Amino acid sequence: MIRRFLFFLVVTCCTASAQPVRIGGIINDYAEVLDLALCANTVRVDDVSGFTTGDVVLLIQMQGATQDTNPGAGQGRLRSIGTTGRFERNVVASITASATPGSTGGDIVLRNRISQPFTPGNGVQLVRMPVYASAVVVSRLTCRPWDGRLGGVLALQVSDTLYMEEDISVAGRGFRGGRARKGNGAIVDTVGATDDAAGFVGSRGESVTANALPYGTARSVNGGGGGGAILGGGQGGSHLGCGGRAYRRYNATSGDPLSYDAGVNWLFMGGGGGSAFRNGGEAHGGDGGGILVIDVPVLKGDGTHVISAAGGDGASEPNGAGGGGGAGGAMLITAVSIVDVPTLLAHGGAGATGGPDPYGNGGGGGGGVVRLGTINAFNLNPSSYAGGRGGRKIDSVRLGETGCDGSVFYNVTINGDTNAFEPASFHLSPDTAVCTGSIVRLVASGGLTTMWFGPDGPICDDCDSLSWQADSSVTLSAIVVFPGGCADTASIRITVRERPELKVVDPPPICLGDTVRIEAPAGFASYLWTTGATSRSIDVTVAGVYGVDATDAGGCTGTASFAVRYREGNGLSFVDGDARRGEIAWFDLAPGQRICRTLTLRNSADTAVVITAPRFARGVDVSSPPGQFPIGVAPHGDAVIVVCAGGTMPGEYRDTCYVPAGCSELPLEMVLFVSETRAFTRCNVEVTSDGERHVVVPVVEAHESIELIAEGQEWSMYATDGALRASRGDAGSLLHIASGVYALHTPKHVTLMLIY
């Protein structure tokens, strides 16, 4: 028992969930589109209360065409259809209500990309399109009548089957017919339009042009012209079929047909018929048919009820002219199968029959448009979209003209982009930090055109990439324009860091075959030499210019170069030798004696040289005092060297002293004379009470001026207390004279032996 009960519940639940939704009346919600932001895929509407996230909606533009306003027969003809008639299905992604107190408006973001242009302010509206799994029409299904701002559209979507137990009709819910008004205007026989009812009493039918002049005999694109004062009937409105002209038209013009160009999927409401002169009755023009959009696989009727977008009939005037009929509207049904539906109606409304002669009859409205998903969906009789008949004959007065037929189209779909909207975006090179003088390549991708701006104004009007030399920190801006006219702005900050300055000194010139080390400054993250080396220093053996790039921790690189040169010829020459002997150093000494001479060298080159210890060619006892080398000689500077010699055997000896300087050696020929053994005089050094030393020579003839050559220095000799004394005149000088044998240059060439 329990099992049966549970089974019953399950079956009942599942069966109930599959029942069609019962619908009727007005099922759509409408909102006027005040603004449209394609870049954000957002519509701003006057009322968001009828919409929720996830709703399917129809975005459609009702008006916005332009017409010829020049007086004459062509007045009211279409100039440009603009974006009128465009429509597409979409889905509500999000809703943001207005923060303004008392406002019902807000912004609605749509999920899929808005694929067509629309012009808000020209009857653009957002229509909520209910979606059902299956539905049944149980009472007349219709739409809100067009009021100049909203309405005129019935749209629904059914996943399975739509059942009809009542009519589906938007008949007479489209553009409004001209409203008759009573006036005293005279009979006219010209085409024109005005906002002054006294001039042209008949009202023009409403059309795809918004804000047209309300009165006159001229058409208003697909809206019929009004009747001439008193006698003229209203002209028929038009859609795809032209509107019929009224009898007693007095050069009044009926509505022009609209063109459904190949490849353009659009929908228009039927044009309103023109009104007649009001002479006590209500001789209004008929309203055009509305727009019906049904997206359903199977549409099943009951054999009696119809689907209609027919135009409304013009109103009769017993004591005046009749109003023109409204044009048929448009229906778009995607069904592949339409069963047991007697007919689909989109015919024009009938022109009204006026009063007895001489009052005119209204012209019939033009036929509308039927658009079906497949050619096999329904066998449509042309009468379904025929033009409306004109007003009937009375008292031998002829009929108003019948409107032209409309048409049927097959294999149509409902517009709508199925691609999810992605906000227009572009990729701009990121903020960057570079070094002074760097060339930065900036790239903006994703838009149609890019304009670049710097601190001083425009840089480039249309370039996706830009090369910028970064000499100082700067902010650059890019304005990117996207398809549809959207634009976005972004900026990039370029921060410039100073390049490091490398302070280096060239190495001294080198000799051929020498090696010199050159070294970059310390403290850098990396180094790169022109040789390919990456160390801080390198050893080079060949003259040339060696460059180095040193990169700091921030990535900035400083550059320096070293010039390695070969030494020029050393440029050395002897300026003088011994102060009185000239350039050749010569020595005259006794056996066993050793004396030194000073030599002056001059560097005539532009580079400094270094003199190292001389070398001697032969084995003669020739040398230099220790500690005086090396000696640096500045460019064009002098240096003094000391060369010493000695010998033990009498005779003449020659030697060559090579003075190394730079990359070569300067030779100095040396002549050494060792005299025969000479008289020796033993002398002592006497130290006086004040510490002054004197050379005491006991056995020597006194002369006024006698020289003592001691260690390369000249000492004056003078007689005192029966002895010769030697002194340079500065106390303590003799401390530097070592014990030894010294030549005393006297006429007798006495050799002194200095004893401490």
Q: According to the model, what pLDDT value does residue 674 have?
A: 67
Measured between alpha carbons, how far is 535 from 533 in angstroms, rounded to an integer?
A: 6
User: What are the angstrom distances between the C-alpha of 575 and each of 55, 170, 582, 709?
Assistant: 111, 126, 9, 23
Q: According to the model, what pLDDT value does residue 655 have?
A: 74
Query: Please, what is the average pLDDT of the chain?
Result: 76
Through-space distance between the first and last CA atoms of the chain, rounded to whole angstroms: 151
Q: According to the model, what pLDDT value does residue 546 have?
A: 96
pLDDT confidence tier of residue 216, bands split at 50, 70 and 90: low
Q: According to the model, what pLDDT value does residue 188 have?
A: 57
Contacts of 243 (CB under 8 A, 6+ apart): 219, 222, 224, 235, 236, 237, 254, 255, 256, 271, 273, 324, 325, 327, 348, 363, 364, 365, 366, 387, 403, 404
Q: Which of 314, 480, 473 is nearest to 401 (CA)?
A: 314
Instruction: Please count the residues of the chain.
Output: 756
pLDDT confidence tier of residue 464, bands split at 50, 70 and 90: confident
Q: According to the model, what pLDDT value does residue 659 have?
A: 78
pLDDT score of 262 more than 60:
no
Over residues 585-595, the mean pLDDT reads 67
Q: According to the model, what pLDDT value does residue 319 have?
A: 73
pLDDT score of 388 more than 60:
no
Helix (H) and strand (E) counts in the chain: 1, 54
pLDDT score of 136 more than 80:
yes
Work out whether strand 161-164 and strand 135-142 pair parallel, antiparallel, or are unpaired.
parallel
Q: Which of 222, 234, 212 is nearest to 278 (CA)?
A: 234
User: What are the angstrom distances between the C-alpha of 61 and each of 78, 126, 371?
Assistant: 17, 9, 18
pLDDT score of 16 more than 80:
no
pLDDT score of 466 more than 80:
yes
User: What are the angstrom distances between the C-alpha of 538 and each of 531, 553, 560?
Assistant: 9, 22, 14
Over residues 637-650, the mean pLDDT reads 77
In one-letter notation, the amino acid at residue 146 is W
Measured between alpha carbons, how far is 537 from 550 in angstroms, rounded to an integer?
A: 11
Architecture of domain 427-497: Sandwich (2.60)
Q: Which of 181, 252, 179, 162 is nearest to 216 (CA)?
A: 252
Share above pLDDT 70 across residues of the chain, in percent, rounded to a whole number: 66
The least confident of 14-28, 369-383, 595-609, 717-731 is: 717-731
Measured between alpha carbons, how far is 355 from 316 in angstroms, rounded to an integer?
A: 8
User: What are the angstrom distances between the C-alpha of 652 and each of 69, 556, 588, 674?
Assistant: 135, 71, 9, 6
Q: According to the model, what pLDDT value does residue 443 have?
A: 86
pLDDT confidence tier of residue 583, bands split at 50, 70 and 90: very low
pLDDT score of 323 more than 50:
yes
Q: According to the model, what pLDDT value does residue 363 have?
A: 74
Q: According to the model, what pLDDT value does residue 265 have?
A: 79
The residue with greater pLDDT, 361 or 52, is 52
Over residues 646-666, the mean pLDDT reads 74
The residue with greater pLDDT, 130 or 699, is 130
pLDDT score of 14 more than 50:
no
Kindly state the helix (H) or strand (E) to which residue 435 belongs, with its residue range.
Answer: strand 432-435
The residue with greater pLDDT, 360 or 756, is 360
pLDDT digits (tens, 9 = 90+) for 28-78: 999 999 999 887 899 999 999 999 999 999 999 999 888 877 777 777 677
Over residues 295-305, the mean pLDDT reads 93
Q: Domain coordinates of the chain in residue numbers? A: 16-28+130-421, 427-497, 516-564, 572-674, 680-755
Over residues 255-274, the mean pLDDT reads 75
Tell me the whole-structure pTM to 2 decimals.
0.62
Q: According to the model, what pLDDT value does residue 402 have?
A: 63
The least confident of 23-32, 57-66, 195-204, 546-555 is: 195-204
Q: According to the model, what pLDDT value does residue 676 have?
A: 58
pLDDT score of 582 more than 50:
no
Q: According to the model, what pLDDT value does residue 521 have?
A: 95
Measured between alpha carbons, how far is 473 from 466 in angstroms, rounded to an integer?
A: 16
Q: According to the model, what pLDDT value does residue 730 have?
A: 41
Measured between alpha carbons, how far is 668 from 684 in angstroms, rounded to an integer?
A: 36
Contacts of 298 (CB under 8 A, 6+ apart): 160, 161, 162, 335, 336, 337, 339
Q: How many Cα atoms are found within 13 Å in the side-chain-facing hemisphere of 513?
A: 3
pLDDT score of 248 more than 70:
no
pLDDT confidence tier of residue 325, bands split at 50, 70 and 90: confident
Over residues 330-342, the mean pLDDT reads 89
Over residues 181-194, the mean pLDDT reads 59
Contacts of 118 (CB under 8 A, 6+ apart): 33, 36, 59, 61, 83, 86, 124
Over residues 197-218, the mean pLDDT reads 71
The winner for highest mean pLDDT among 15-29, 138-152, 175-189, 261-275 is: 138-152
pLDDT confidence tier of residue 285, bands split at 50, 70 and 90: confident
pLDDT digits (tens, 9 = 90+) for 601-631: 888 877 788 888 777 766 555 566 667 778 8
pLDDT score of 732 more than 70:
no
Over residues 164-174, the mean pLDDT reads 96
Q: What is the distance, to the nearest Å, from the Cα of residue 509 to the centroid of all Cα atoms in its chain?
A: 54
- Annotation: CATH topology of 572-674: Immunoglobulin-like (2.60.40)
pLDDT confidence tier of residue 527, bands split at 50, 70 and 90: very high
DSSP-derived secondary structure letter, 9: H
Q: According to the model, what pLDDT value does residue 748 have?
A: 43
Kindly state the helix (H) or strand (E) to which residue 7 belongs, with its residue range.
Answer: helix 2-17
Measured between alpha carbons, how far is 272 from 302 in angstroms, rounded to an integer?
A: 32
- Please give the structure tokens belonging to residue 466: 């830009």
The residue with greater pLDDT, 583 or 340, is 340
Share above pLDDT 90 across residues of the chain, in percent, rounded to a whole number: 29
Over residues 154-171, the mean pLDDT reads 96
pLDDT score of 699 more than 50:
no
